[in-house]
Amino acid sequence: MRVVTTCHKQGYQMYGKRFVEGWQNWPEESELHWYTESFEPPHLTRCTFIPDTKIQGLQIIKERFQHYKPVGWEWDVVRYANKVYAAYDALIDYKGIGVWLDCDCVTFKPLPVGYIESLLPDDCYMAMFKRTGMHTETGFWIMNCAHEQHQSFLSNWIEWYESRAFFDLPGWTDCHTLDATVRRFEKEGLIKTHSLSGTHAKDMHPLSKVELGRYIDHCKGKRKITGYSPENLNRTANAIAAA
C-alpha cells in the first residue's frame, strides 16, 4: 500500500509534525511518498521524500499562474494542483492500493493490518468521501492502482490542468477535477466508485463521523491550528490534549 501526501514549509511547521507522529500508526506494509515544497523534511521510516520541483508539469502550472490572485479558495488552482500532480507522479506506474492522505490528517490510533484495504470494495476503482449537493471531500481517498482504467483515469485527471479545461468547472480544486473525472468514467461504465460517507453524506466533515474517524482525524481548515476536529468524538480528551 502506497500513501501519498504533500506539504509546504509553513504547513509542515503548523500541522506536518503531527502527521509525522501519526505515521508510526500505519502498518509496516505501507509506504509513504511525501512531496515537499521549499523545505528539507526530517528522516522518517518507510518514507520517500520528493521535492515537488521534480514534477515538471506542476512547475509549468506554477509558472503559468504565478501572477494569478484567486478570489477564493475554490479557485486557487496552484494550491490544489499540487495534490493532483503528486498523486499522478506517485501512482501512475504503481500496481497496489494507493491512498491519498492530506498532511493535516492525524493518525492518532494504530490502524489494523488490512483495514484500509477493506474499505475499497473489490469491484470498485475508488473509495472516497462523497457528499450530497457538494464536491467530494478529498482529504482521504483510496484507489486500486491495478485497475485496467487506472492509468487512463489519472491521465484524464491531469488533463484538466494540461489543457486548462478546469476553467469550465464550478471550482478549480482537486475536488472539482476529481469529481469531473469520476463522472466521465462512471458515465461510460469504465469504473465504479464507493462512498465512504455512508449515512453522513450531507455532513461537511463525514470522515469525523464514520468508523475511519476512530483512527484518523482530518484537521482541515481552522482545525489545522487546534490539531483536532471537535466533531470527531473518537478523539479522547488525552488525544486532544496531546495534539
Which residues partner with 128 through β-bridges?
141, 195
pLDDT in tens, 84-122: 999 999 999 999 999 999 999 999 999 999 999 999 999
Structure confidence at residue 234 (pLDDT): 80
pLDDT at 19 over 60: yes
Per the listing, cell 509496516 goes with 28
Other Cβ atoms less than 10 A from the Cβ of 86: the count is 25
Task: Please state the domain extents for the chain.
Answer: 2-242
Looking at per-residue confidence, does 80 or 236 come out higher?
80
The hierarchical CATH code for the domain 2-242 is 3.90.550
Structure confidence at residue 42 (pLDDT): 82
Burial class for 6, CB neighbours closer than 10 Å (0-12, 13-18, 19+): buried
How many Å from the N-terminal Cα to the C-terminal Cα in the chain? Answer: 26
pTM: 0.94
pLDDT in tens, 166-225: 999 999 999 999 999 999 999 999 999 999 999 999 999 999 999 999 999 999 999 999
